[in-house]
Amino acid sequence: MKLDEVQTHLSKVEAIFLDQMKNTASFRLKESMEYSFLAGGKRIRPLLLLSLYADLTGKIEDKAITVATALEMIHTYSLIHDDLPAMDNDDYRRGQYSNHKQFDEATAILAGDALLTDAFVVLAKSPIDSALKIRLVEELASTAGSNGMVAGQMEDMLGEEKHLSLQELQKIHREKTGRLFVFACQAAAQLADKDDYLAQKLGEHLGIAFQIRDDILDVTASFESLGKTIGKDAATEKSTYVQCFGLEGAKEKLKEQIQEAKETLAQLTNERGATWEIIERIEKVN
């Protein structure tokens, strides 16, 4: 299955989200949640889950779309909170005002809280075998929580204005960025009833590659192409792959991770389908 065909299913991700929003008791909270979730963006994490599932099974089913929706809700919550003044303090996201700039700080915090919590409602209602559903709930909670993304954000903030070692930098990125990529790949394999070890390795390589790409684009891209403030890493004296290796060195590190990802994918499936196209998209930084 090709990537453009998989992308058509992203409208179903939005439909599942909007169906969940029907139960929201506060109109302002609903408005704030929809503002950030429906802003679009690359949707790389749900797209990766659906693409790998399609490559492994030859189809896309509702159970995979539901898990992809829960994953994107958690990712959107993380963006809202990352942009807050107490954290990365960014005014723009996905080409529009950050949630706290469009509404207010308290509303943005609550919208993020609700997206995180409601993601597990969506996952709990998914048409998945109970044993696998419990496993996915546990893995997604671990991915997002104190052993994953939240811990990575904490360490990222503590690392500002410090010169971190490569090992420290990689640990932050594995937790803050990489864990959602790992979950996307592992969930796809588990839903397809395939061994998820190689899927985990694929997610690890893609998570690192995506972060290196993001570091490069923070230096080279425009606001129009990226949809958020450019040069934030340098302004906050944050350690990045570009800061550690220089621009060309970071590009070489990106190539290494992309090659590892391609080799791992080849062990999972002979299909050069949608997942392969995603890898090639991450590879491009020009």
What is the tens place of the pLDDT at every residue in 185-230?
999 999 999 989 999 999 999 999 999 999 999 888 766 666 666 6
Cβ neighbors of 92 (< 8 A, separation 6 or more) are 98, 101, 223, 227, 228, 229
| Domain at 3-283: CATH architecture | Orthogonal Bundle (1.10)
> Quick one: pLDDT at residue 235?
60
* Average pLDDT rounded to a whole number, residues 4-18: 97
Identify the three-state secondary structure at position 69: helix
Residue 97's H or E segment, with its range, is strand 96-97
How does pLDDT run across 132-165, given as a tens digit for each residue?
A: 999 999 999 999 999 999 999 999 888 877 788 8
**Residue in this structure with the two tokens 């492994």, named with its chain if needed:** 56
Closest CA to 77 of 117, 24, 20: 117
* Average pLDDT rounded to a whole number, residues 36-61: 95
In this prediction, residue 243 has a pLDDT band, given cuts at 50, 70 and 90, of confident
User: Rounded distance, CA 32 to CA 249, Å?
Assistant: 40
For the chain, what are the domain ranges? 3-283
